[in-house]
Amino acid sequence: VQLVESGGGLVQAGGSLRLSCVASEFSFNDHFIGWFRQAPGKEREGISCISSTYTYYKESVKGRFTISSDNAKNTVYLQMNNLEPEDTAVYYCAATKIYYSDYNLLASTCRHGMDIWGEGTLVTVSS
């Protein structure tokens, strides 16, 4: 599996961006995939992940970010609305192969269980 992110950039506070992650040699049927971010001086955090059945969001982005997938294009999106300067970070797409799926597994994997990573795309939100 290879992951390639795009869509980062500079946006003013309150604005929107949509990130895309194209996954090669990938199937939503046997992988979790999602979005992580790492702000300067902070640890990387999982913010939203998706499986064929479930979606997970970190509390701080609920209601502002939406994860979606286009299975035909092997692409995962992260629509980010009402962006805040605190959202400034490098955003990474990540995935892992799974052998069963439930919401709790998706949530825990989204926090610390991914093992395939993209190169990242920078999102900068100005105040």
CA distance 113 to 58: 15
What integer pLDDT is reported at residue 22 of this predicted model?
Answer: 97
HEC string for 1-37: CEEEEECCEEEECCCCEEEEEEEECCCCCCEEEEEEE
- Per-residue model confidence as pLDDT tens digits over 32-66: 999 999 999 999 999 999 999 999 999 999 999 99
User: Contact 116/25 with Cβ under 8 angstroms?
Assistant: no
Which of 20-24, 110-114, 122-126 is predicted with the least confidence, judged by mean pLDDT? 110-114
Dihedral sign, Cα of residue 46, residue 71, residue 123, residue 115: positive
Using DSSP's 3-state secondary structure scheme, residue 108 falls into helix
Give residues with Cβ within 8 angstroms of 125, minimum separation 6: 10, 11, 12, 13, 15, 83, 84, 85, 86, 87, 88
Confidence grade of residue 29 (pLDDT, cut at 50, 70, 90): confident
Using DSSP's 3-state secondary structure scheme, residue 99 falls into coil
Using DSSP's 3-state secondary structure scheme, residue 106 falls into helix
